[in-house]
Amino acid sequence: MQVKDKIVIVTGAGSGIGAATAKHFAKHQAKVIVSDIKEEKAQNIADEIKSEGGEATVIMANVAKFEDVEQLVAKTVEKYGQLDVIVNNAGIGPRNMARTGEYTLDDWDSVIAVNQTGVFYCMKVALQQMVKQGGGNIVNIASLAGLKASLNNLSYCASKFAVVGMTKSAALEYATKNIRINAVCPGYTESALLDKLLSVRPDMDQRLKSVIPMKRYGQAEEIAEAVVWLASDTTKFITGQTITLDGGTSL
Catalytic residues: 156
DSSP annotation string for 87-114: EE------SS---GGG--HHHHHHHIII
Question: What integer pLDDT is reported at residue 208 of this predicted model?
Answer: 83
Q: Classify residue 180: in a domain, yes or no.
A: yes
Residues of the chain with pLDDT under 70: 1, 200
Q: What pLDDT, on a 0 to 100 scale, did the predictor assign at position 145?
A: 94
Say what the pLDDT of residue 218 is: 92
The answer to the question of residue 211 being in a domain is no
Asked if residue 89 lies in contact with residue 13, where contact means CB atoms within 8 angstroms, the answer is: yes
Residue 125 belongs to what domain range? Answer: 7-188+219-244
The side-by-side arrangement of strands in the sheet containing 85-88 is 55-58, 31-34, 7-10, 85-88, 136-141, 179-186, 242-245
pLDDT score, position 23: 98
Instruction: Find, among 123, 147, 162, the residue nearest to 245 by Cα.
Output: 147
**Domain containing 61 — which CATH number?**
3.40.50.720
Counting residues of the chain whose pLDDT is more than 70, the rounded percentage is 98
Q: Are the CB atoms for 11 and 61 separated by under 8 Å?
A: yes
Which pLDDT tens digit goes with each residue over 54-77? 999 999 999 999 999 999 999 999
Which pLDDT value is given to residue 112? 98
What's the pLDDT score for residue 1? 67
User: What is the reported pTM?
Assistant: 0.95
Asked if residue 203 is part of any domain, the answer here is no
- Residue 207 falls inside a structural domain: no
Give pLDDT, residue 239.
98
Number of folded domains that form the chain: 1
33 lies in some domain: yes
In a domain, 87, yes or no: yes
